Structure 1
Amino acid sequence: MRPRHRPWEEAADFQIGLRPIAPEDWLEGGEADPAARKDPLFAASRGLVWAEADGSRPGQAEAADLIAAALGPAPAPAELPPLYAAARRLPDDLCLMEKRDGEWRLTALSLSAGSFFTAQEVIGRSLGELHGPVTGFADRFLVRVQRIFEGLRPDLVLERRNWTVLNSNALHTPSSAPIRARIGEIGPSQAASALSLRVERQTLRRLPRTGGALFTIRVWLAPLGSLAGQPERLAAFAHAWRSATPELRAYKRFDLYDDLVESFLADPQPA
């Protein structure tokens, strides 16, 4: 297994990094039966993976229509919220953003692969509140992100990519505590298989009928050892890891993994 995207080759700092892509490239797919993964979580831990605000159903329905237009129509259980009915057809998590009281807010989300947060924790939050953990986001990026949402055209699809390293190969990671508690159990020789490259491919597009925006998050995982045997890609990763800004390192807690990553880079064995 090798990572499908390599955003560590692009920047050593947090970047907005949104770029236009062709509408036909909007959804990547790559999972045979997403519902088989998502439905058990929805049934057993609904508050972790699903939340919706009052009045969001019209926007959810439009988002579902947009996905049906891309994938083709499919029957959905009538009792399911429209956004979740659409999300169970996709590997991606789906987030509905709508303008409420002058702020872009998260009004519905299906979150089966969230990185250290749950649906109930973030529902109703504004753009600034959602990105609060990102060091310096309010000062450096918030106004630009708000302008992007305001100026988003219906015919435009935007994409960005994000990455980190974790000692987990699970998509569903609602809490950091149990994962980080196990870091001390990993020996240097195990870093290639015990550490995972976690890459998020995100897209944003307007919902022209209701005026909201649909944000998608597709998570790809690969062992750190998947970089072994690829000298140029390994060198790019090493450069990104070692030159990451203090703000980025603090936000992603790279310090927790420094010794293990450096052990791997010194002797890069396949997973």
Structure 2
Amino acid sequence: MSPRHRPWEEAADFQIGLRPIPLADWLEGGEADPAARKDPLFERVRDLVWAETPGSQAGQAEAAAMVEAALGPAPAQRGLPALYAAARRVPDDLCLMEKRDGQWRLAALSLSAGGFFTAAEAIGKSLEELHGPVTGFGERFLVRVQRVFEGLRPELVLERRNWTVLNSADLHTPSSAPIRAQIPDIDPREAGRVLCLRVERQTLRRLPQTGGALFTIRVWLAPLSDLAADPERLAAFANAWRAATPDLRAYKRFDLYDDLVEAFLRDPQPA
């Protein structure tokens, strides 16, 4: 799942960065059998990767129909929630947002590649609550994001991308503690191999019948050493890492990886 996107080239600060894309480009694909990865998690640790609220079934069904319209019909999955049945077909995590009591809230989600949060922790939260860890989100971005949700039009697809560096090659990372505990043991000479670029490509679409919105999260991973084969990409990454604003660095915890990333940049060995 080597990243096909380069969001570090776009901004040195946290940005909303939503842009319209063609409807045909909504789902990227790129994983042969997403269900083979997602089903064991759904069966073994369901509370970490799946949650739904009462009353979300109609929105789930509409979201599933939207995926079916994009990919073609699939055999019925008896006994599975509609949103999860749809999520089994795509690499993306699927998040259903619905407006309740005047707030856009997470009504259902399939979260098989969550980064340091779980479905049980996120379900039912508002936009402000979901973005609480982002420094200054409420003051800088909340009103703008709410306007985006209110103004979504049917057939409009919005896309944004973000990135971080992590010492894990796993898509499913519900907790930061076991991953960050390993950082002191990483040999700086191995930083390019051990550290990974984690890129998220997100999309947002209106559900015209039920009035909700479907938010998708597609995660791409690659060793940092992949950058060594392309000097231009490597230089852009180095610039983005060093130019990141204090708020972005704090949110992403870049400080934990500074020494390791700089060791790689001094001697970028290819993968």
TM-score by length of 1: 0.99
Count of residues in correspondence between the two structures: 271
Compute the displacement of 1:76 (Å): 2.8
Equivalence map 1:15-164=2 (5 Å): 15-164=15-164
Checking the alignment, whether the CA contact within 8 Å between 1:2 and 1:227 is kept in structure 2 is no
Compute the displacement of 1:78 (Å): 1.5
- Find the aligned partners of 1:208 and 1:229 in 2 and give their Cα distance: 45
Compute the displacement of 1:229 (Å): 2.5
Give the letter for the 2:65 counterpart. Answer: D
Checking the alignment, whether the CA contact within 8 Å between 2:5 and 2:199 is kept in structure 1 is yes
Unpaired segments ≥5 residues, structure 1: none
**Percent of aligned pairs with the same residue?**
80
Compute the displacement of 1:258 (Å): 0.2
Checking the alignment, whether the CA contact within 8 Å between 1:13 and 1:244 is kept in structure 2 is yes
- Find the aligned partners of 1:3 and 1:192 in 2 and give their Cα distance: 15
Instruction: For residues 143-165 of structure 1, give each alpha carbon's deviation from its aligned partner in whole angstroms, at most 9, with x where no partner exists.
Output: 00000000000020000001000
- Report whether the alignment pairs 1:175 with 2:179: no
Q: Secondary structure at 2:65's aligned position in 1?
A: helix
Give the letter for the 1:16 counterpart. Answer: I
Give the letter for the 1:52 counterpart. Answer: E
Question: What's the C-alpha RMSD, in Å, of the aligned pairs?
Answer: 0.7
Per the alignment, do residues 58 and 2 of structure 1 end up closer, same or farther by CA in structure 2, a change over 3 Å counting? closer
Compute the displacement of 1:270 (Å): 1.3
Runs of 4+ in 1 over 3 A off after TM superposition: none
Instruction: For residues 167-214 of structure 1, give each alpha carbon's deviation from its aligned partner in whole angstroms, at most 9, with x where no partner exists.
Output: 000000000000000011111110011000000000000000000000
Give the letter for the 1:251 counterpart. Answer: Y
Unpaired segments ≥5 residues, structure 2: none
- Find the aligned partners of 2:151 and 2:165 in 1 and give their Cα distance: 33
- Find the aligned partners of 2:270 and 2:217 in 1 and give their Cα distance: 28
- Report whether the alignment pairs 1:190 with 2:175: no
Q: Secondary structure at 1:197's aligned position in 2?
A: strand
Instruction: For residues 45-73 of structure 1, give each alpha carbon's deviation from its aligned partner in whole angstroms, at most 9, with x where no partner exists.
Output: 00000000000000000000000000000
Q: Secondary structure at 1:204's aligned position in 2?
A: strand
The residue that corresponds to 1:224 in the other structure is: 224
Give the letter for the 2:91 counterpart. Answer: P
TM-score by length of 2: 0.99
The residue that corresponds to 1:5 in the other structure is: 5
Checking the alignment, whether the CA contact within 8 Å between 1:95 and 1:106 is kept in structure 2 is yes
Instruction: For residues 4-31 of structure 1, give each alpha carbon's deviation from its aligned partner in whole angstroms, at most 9, with x where no partner exists.
Output: 1000000000000000000000000000
Q: Secondary structure at 2:229's aligned position in 1?
A: coil
